[in-house]
Amino acid sequence: MEILGIDIGGSGIKGAIVETKTGQFIGDRYRLDTPQPANPENIALAIKNIAKQFKWKNKIGCGFPAVVQNGLIKTAANIDKSFIGIDANKLFSKTMKCDVSVFNDADAAGFAELTFSEAKKHKGLTIFLTIGTGIGSALIKDGILIPNTEFGHLFMQNGIIGEKFASDAVRKNQDLSWEDWAKRFNEYLLHLEKIFNPTLFIIGGGTSKKIDKFQSLLSIKTEIKPAKFMNNAGIIGAALLAK
């Protein structure tokens, strides 16, 4: 089955037609900068523009950077706060005149890994992290996804929120070397390790493509791997969940 998957992020919105049996893209991915302000009207228009690019009028799945409960947006860390309380399923479906289903973006990415990677067979607690504008998280226990965790918003021992300390946006904005950023990211992972005692970390988001630049600098005991689909996992997972 082919479904248009869209991954809405703080800096970019990406879409592709996904073959849900394999997780592969049908054709190329298309990307737009996230509009500013990233309010409901502008995001709905961006989704419409992506669908137009693919001449798409059927089912759509969207990963969204917020806690999402049955389409209802409950938080807004890297998106306009006017989204809070909005039923995104209804809003986007009305705009698109087709069935649009909205899910937490990290959950969508985690679900793609759970479906097509070895995470499906992994016994124990897996923490999937998307490192980009913020830090998204998905929790997987013995092959089951537990939705709407927000580990990027945990307070560190230094009193700073995790994603304000160790996201990729922080690395870029503060012009940190990979070595300096890795120290921060390692501190963040050690914090998660201490609280949750996971048996596996999977790193997704844009940073997953650069894991060779920092993995050797980490001192955590937990096994760590890059996401199979790297920065495309959110698109694939959104399509799978919409199915």
Q: What is the pLDDT of residues 209-239, one digit of tens each?
A: 899 999 999 999 999 999 999 889 999 999 9
How confident is the model at residue 122, as a pLDDT? 85
How confident is the model at residue 91, as a pLDDT? 97
pTM: 0.91
Does the pLDDT at position 206 exceed 80?
Answer: yes
Give 119's DSSP letter. G
Share of the chain above pLDDT 70, in %: 100
Does the pLDDT at position 158 exceed 90?
Answer: no
> Comparing C-alpha atoms, which of 238, 233, 188, 236 is closest to residue 206?
233
Concatenate the DSSP letters of all residues of 140-207 into one string.
EETTEEE----GGGPBPTTSSBHHHHHSHHHHHHTT--HHHHHHHHHHHHHHHHHHH--SEEEEESGG
Query: Once rounded to an integer, what is the mean pLDDT over residues 58-62?
Result: 97
What rounded mean pLDDT belongs to the chain? 95
Provide the token pair at 238. Answer: 């959104």
- Work out the pLDDT band at 120, boundaries 50, 70, 90: confident
Does the pLDDT at position 119 exceed 80?
Answer: no
